[in-house]
Chains A and B, each alone.
Chain A
Amino acid sequence: MEIEGLERILREHSFFAGLGDAFLALVSGCARNVRFEAGHYLFHEGEPANEFYLLRHGRVALELHAPGRGPITFQTLGEGEIVGVSWLIPPYRWAYDARALTLVRAIGVDAACLRQKCEADHDLGYEMMKRVTSVLIQRLQTTRLQILDVYGTHG
């Protein structure tokens, strides 16, 4: 019953839009409902990328710590977005902290479990690779704009 509910939620999440039923069933076997209170961390920089999150409710800040400056937020994510993209590519480690800004409800996906299924079924692996790459491209483009500092006095 719970797996059925998870499958429906995963199907409706934009990250899995258009994914076939058979693949959705494989993914949902690695998924669970999770909840984080405001201020709690979903994961920390340097930790193994064991679980990534599909946000259903709430907002998450992606942060880096700089000595003497404290946490610097470089992106916030909300409903319909994915937190964590380092889980599919070695060395499977998070490159930043992810902190809940509000109460967060999400689907957590066991990354090792899904990687194993991707290795066993390369069609599923290719679907996951396309989705993760699409997110990476979007984030690369927005990062370029941030680096350009378009609102500076030269902008």
Chain B
Amino acid sequence: MADTDGTTDPMVPRLARIARRRRDGPQVWTLEIEAEDSAGAGFAPGQFNMLTAFGVGEVPISLSGDPAEPDRLVHTIRAVGPVSTALTRLGPGETVGLRGPFGVGWPMAELAGHDVLIVAGGLGLAPLRPVLYRLLAERARYGKVVLLYGTRSPQEILFRRQIESWRRRLDIDIEVTVDHALGDWHGHVGVVTTLIPRASFDPAHTIALVCGPEVMMRFAIAALRDAGLPDTALFLSMERNMKCAVGLCGHCQIGPVFACRDGPVFRFDRLRNVLAVKEI
């Protein structure tokens, strides 16, 4: 949708159509959408779009698809509130509103030449999947790649078939753990932070990317610091109440920064002093 000066107004949603819908877990669906005026502008791993369920509302949703396929806008959504529930009930051919992509993503340029340790919890794997696509597509540019993924139960492992497929590769280490399991699960049981001391990486040459519920990220950051990673090598993606997505409304303010404009991905040293403040 063009503004009077010919540029796109970031506050006005474009129309987009659901191309595919796939269930990825209890209450979790992945929607692939195509903008009607798609220009294939692409997105950076870690960025998000604002999706509108017409008549219900708008929510921020991370892009979870392959950045090498800019026309396929993939979003993985958990049905938790009225808007996300309405979005997950839409089927192929139905229309949503789309604004974006917005925000600062993962530090892909900085990762080159480093070992990359990805720590994901629950749905937090979704904003990290574009990173994995990029790392694996340009594998020679990076050192060791390690994915540590934790979730609630074996039934709630996100992108399970894809993880199993990646695990068969010889150039990525993947460990999956669940918080609880019955006897038929033969993988790890325990929270994702327990995988960090067991993982093999050189803290002097590693950059860690962390995404998940905030409590999980706090404990993961503590474990990564215990393992010897400096604060400047830790990045995390913050989920906040994004509304305008362009740093105007202030709903997603975290101390001196706006999650929508200055994040959602932050280097840990920028947030170190505000994460522990309960009032923020």
Contact = CB atoms under 8 A, between A and B. Distances in A.
Nearest to B215: A150
A73 B189 contact: yes
A33 interface: no
Contacts of B189: 61-62, 73-76
B120 to A, nearest CB: 11
A142 interface: yes
Interface residues of A, number: 27
Contacts of B150: 151
Nearest to B181: A73
A67 interface: no
Chain B binding site: helix, strand, loop or mixed by DSSP? mixed
Chain B's interface size range is 20 to 34
Given A72-B181, A73-B189, A150-B122, A142 B152 contact: no
Interface of A is mostly: mixed
A76 B190 contact: yes
Interface string B231-250: 00000000000000000000
Contacts of B179: 145-146, 149, 151
Contact of B190 (A69, A75, A153): A75
Interface string A43-86: 00000000000000001011100000111111110111000000
6 contacts: A72-B182, A145-B215, A150-B121, A151-B152, A151-B213, A155-B122
Interface of A: 59, 61-63, 69-76, 78-80, 101, 141-142, 145-146, 148-153, 155
